[in-house]
Amino acid sequence: MKLSIAILGTRGIPNYYGGFEHISEYVSAGLVKKGHSVTVYNSHNHPYTANSWNGVNIVHCYDPEYLIGTAGQFAYDFNCIMDARRRKFDVVLLMGYTSSSVWGTLYPTGSTIITNMDGLEWKRSKYSRPVQKFLKYAEKLAIKHSQYYISDSRVIRAYLQDKYCVDSRYIPYGADLFSEQERELFDKSEVLKEDYFLLMARMEPENNIETILEGFNNSSSRKCFMVLGDTSNRFGKFITHKFKNDDRIQFKGANFDNSVVRALQNNSYLYFHGHSVGGTNPSLLEAMASEALIAAHNNPFNKSVLNSDAFYFDNAAEVKHLVENVQRHDTERAMVKNNLKKIQYQFNWDVVINDYEDFIIECYRKQKDGKIIEA
């Protein structure tokens, strides 16, 4: 069965922003290779301006976020939804619900509606209480107006079952194993192997960047600490100012060159992953696939992916302890190998794309038959 599929809810592909854009790249191109007609909606401000990418159709919709801030996201999603109504896709896949579920009554009535339910957005500390309250409401609307659901984490799947009594299909993100070609491409003169710590994240409080850097700042380590992420927002400016006197901390800005990021992860002494809210985080999987030794914030999302194959921290004192005490011997090498096996057999892009195709087709068939499916 070959379907016409639209992917909404992202800023667009190729990825210049985050997780949903990242997975939309792989899933859209993968579904095209399987013979489906796939359309991804891009913000008109997206740097990629062509009308197709790797066989995927691109629709550029007006996005006023650059003019009016966050409210522009709601206008952008409205524009995408209204355009999708006219095109009569077989399936509409919504990546997230933050600014789209308020338009739930406008979702295309002739299309099968599937929503990837994202992480627990209302838990993000960057949001004020009124915004967190709204996000809980948006979550309820997404449940109400969608027909089927995807969870990228087993923790999220259990939450949706407990909170709303809905079944969702667990489909995580994926990653590609670090290849020999990537090893050869990396210029070893850029950095000394294993002579630096690394973190890569959006500059947001819930990513525990301040905690990680404070722990390192208080340590006696002589290594440097590379920070990848756009620091132009309010929190990013706060972080760079707070640690400006520590010459060991190097803010490198955002980098969307995947080969460079993966090489940096591969060569790091210890990769810090501070994300505390959300599902299966793409940057964590990339670090695992790039053979990084990982120290992760101690929370159910990270532990459901890493299990015992990582070091964990809750606070700056524990970060300091890791920075000063972690070694790279047989036990640590085994942790890296175990994470590689997870990527190879569990968080594999071919498996992820197949799971998306199977679920999309299953949902479409059952919706047309007027039946409810069990995830």
Residue 241 has pLDDT above 80, yes or no: yes
The predicted model gives 131-140 an average pLDDT of 90
Do 167 and 277 reside in the same domain of the chain? no
User: What pLDDT score was predicted for residue 23?
Assistant: 93
Residue 248 has pLDDT above 60, yes or no: yes
User: What pLDDT score was predicted for residue 126?
Assistant: 66
Do 30 and 161 reside in the same domain of the chain? yes
Higher pLDDT, 68 or 278: 68
Q: How many helices (H) and strands (E) does the chain have?
A: 14, 14
The whole-angstrom distance between residue 222's C-alpha and the CA centroid of its chain comes to 32
Do 250 and 157 reside in the same domain of the chain? no
**Three-class secondary structure of residue 9 per DSSP:** coil
What value does the mean pLDDT of the chain take? 92
**Other C-beta atoms within 10 Å of 291: how many?**
21
Do 340 and 355 reside in the same domain of the chain? no
Do 343 and 355 reside in the same domain of the chain? no
- In sequence order, the β-bridge partners of residue 8 are 94
Do 30 and 150 reside in the same domain of the chain? yes
User: What pLDDT score was predicted for residue 276?
Assistant: 85
- Could you tell me the pLDDT band of residue 8, with boundaries at 50, 70 and 90? very high
**Number of domains within the chain:** 2
Per the structure, the complete domain to which residue 34 belongs is given by: 4-174+349-374
Do 245 and 362 reside in the same domain of the chain? no
Do 148 and 188 reside in the same domain of the chain? no
Render 145-195 in DSSP notation, one character per residue.
Answer: H-SEEEESSHHHHHHHHHHH----EE----BPPPPHHHHHHS-TTSS-TT-
User: What pLDDT score was predicted for residue 43?
Assistant: 97
Residue 187 has pLDDT above 90, yes or no: no
The predicted model gives 107-116 an average pLDDT of 96
- Torsion angle of C-alpha atoms 225, 226, 230, 236, degrees rounded to 10: 10
The predicted model gives 172-190 an average pLDDT of 73
pTM value is 0.84
Do 116 and 220 reside in the same domain of the chain? no
Lowest mean pLDDT: which of 109-123, 129-143, 266-280? 109-123
Q: Which CATH number covers residue 285?
A: 3.40.50.2000
**Cβ distance 172 to 138 under 8 Å?**
no
Rg of the chain on CA atoms, in Å: 21
Do 159 and 257 reside in the same domain of the chain? no
User: What pLDDT score was predicted for residue 104?
Assistant: 97
Do 105 and 226 reside in the same domain of the chain? no
Do 47 and 95 reside in the same domain of the chain? yes
Higher pLDDT, 370 or 201: 201
Residue 197 has pLDDT above 50, yes or no: yes
